[in-house]
Amino acid sequence: MPDAPRTTAGRRPLISGNWKMNLNHFEATALLDKLRYLVSKDDLAAVEVSVHPPFTDVRTVQTFLESEKVDIALGAQNCHWEDSGAFTGEVSPGFLAKLNVRYVIVGHSERRELFGDTDEWVSAKLKAVLKHAMVPILCVGETLDEREAGSTGAKVTGQVRAGLDGVSAEQVGAMVIAYEPIWAIGTGRTATTEDAQSVCASIRATVADVAGADAAAGVRIQYGGSVKASNAAELMAQPDVDGALVGGASLDAESFAKIVQFPLGGA
Ligand code: PGA
């Protein structure tokens, strides 16, 4: 049995598949059925894995993972901050918790850029996820214009501070932050490993400033943006990169399995 890979700081890597608005519930089951044969129990002991299907698939995916005893965590892509009420088209975090959802993405750049999620909403959603004993994956990241203007640090730090506002140090230490440069999402362009490491390190420094050293040591920071089997191992080797939020490459069982198996060197 291979040694469980840990980051240098001992955090267990988290590889999350964000399916976005892809895969209906039949296709979701077909993908997971392939995936469970491709990844071994040892793989899933070493690296934590979550999948984030569209809402219409969540119940089906829950049933599949639980009845087949597949050790993959169930995730969601978004939620509302209220428990219930007159919010047509929205999804309650409490309903997700009832389906044994463990991880909820909040503030994905597509939500922020296309659907108007503000820092204030993201903060409210993050607290709602915590209230229901689920784990938020707080997404942050800069646009290409912001990167070229040299404002990556200011943008990302501002988003982290806004997202963590009012959250206890203990909760911060148990959550996940995903650094996703917007210009690298779905474009095939990946940040260099040096850039990914340097922004993830600055996020950890911001967490230390906001919530203290223990929280900074515990929080897991994922990199996202065109992660694939061929670049996963190198990204994961960075001391402040504790996992990956994977979009396109999570829609194919073989490519996602190879990312999960990054300790074996990818393909
Ligand atoms: P990508 O998406 O892997 O397709 O670039 C990542 C994300 O948006 O979470």
User: What pLDDT, in 10s, does the model give residues 21-39?
Assistant: 999 999 999 999 999 999 9
Instruction: Measure the CA–CA gap between 15 and 137, rounded to whole angstroms.
Output: 12
Q: Who's near 67: CB < 8 A, 6+ residues apart?
A: none
Task: Let me know if 132 is a catalytic residue.
Answer: no
Best of 106, 143, 226, 256 for a ligand 1 pocket test (most atoms within 8 Å of beta carbon):
226
Query: Is the CB of residue 148 less than 8 Å from the CB of residue 210?
Result: no
Ligand 1 pocket: which of 185, 230, 255, 259 to mutate (most atoms within 8 A of CB): 185
Name 27's Cβ contacts closer than 8 Å, sequence gap at least 6. none
Torsion sign, CA atoms 95, 101, 106, 110? negative
Q: Is 180 a catalytic residue?
A: yes
Q: What is the pLDDT of residues 218-230, one digit of tens each?
A: 999 999 999 999 9
Q: Report helix, strand or coil for 219.
A: coil
- Report pLDDT for 1: 38
Ligand 1 atom closest to residue 246's alpha carbon, by position in its atom list: 3
Contact partners, residue 203, CB within 8 Å, separation at least 6: 140, 156, 157, 160, 177, 179, 221, 240
Integer Cα distance of 215 and 223 in angstroms = 19
pLDDT of residue 254: 98
Centre of ligand 1 from the C-alpha of residue 179, in Å: 11
pLDDT at residue 191, rounded to an integer: 86
Whole-number pLDDT of residue 242: 97
Q: Ligand 1 centre and the CA of 99: distance in Å? A: 25
Q: What is the pLDDT of residue 8?
A: 60
> Among 80, 108, 142, 146, which one carries the catalytic annotation?
108
Q: Count of CB atoms within 10 A of residue 30's CB?
A: 13
Spatial separation of the C-alpha atoms in residues 263 and 259, rounded to whole Å: 9
| Nearest one of 65, 46, 49 to 57, comparing CA atoms | 65
Residues of the chain with pLDDT below 50 are: 1-3
